[in-house]
Amino acid sequence: MKGILRPREGEALKLGPPVAGEVIIKVDPRQTGAPFAAGTLTLLPGAELPPHRHLHRDEALFVHKGQGRATVEGRSMTVVPGTLVYVPRQ
């Protein structure tokens, strides 16, 4: 794994309904052994990720632009640029 990844570098996954957008995986724990995954997520307007959980890794989501709502452990909030959402494993 490289120490610095440029924009658009990494494994790209296209998202389909109900989510519309793309994930680019920058740090894959299957390849790096890291206890977390990292990447970029682009959601098109109106798209949403269904509730889900990761059993074996933490997740951090940084909102770069746009806005939406995030719910973690039953707490829901509006997220705007500059927000970091930390989602613990399980």
pLDDT in tens, 50-80: 787 888 888 888 888 888 888 988 899 998 8
| pLDDT > 70? residue 37 | yes
- Sign, CA dihedral 17-63-38-72, equals negative
Residue-averaged pLDDT of the chain: 84
Q: Which two tokens stand for residue 1?
A: 């794994």
pTM of the predicted structure, to 2 decimals: 0.70
**Spatial distance between the Cα atoms of 60 and 24, rounded to a whole number of angstroms:** 14
Beta strands in the chain (DSSP E): 11-15, 21-27, 36-43, 58-62, 68-72, 75-79, 84-87
3-state secondary structure of 31: helix
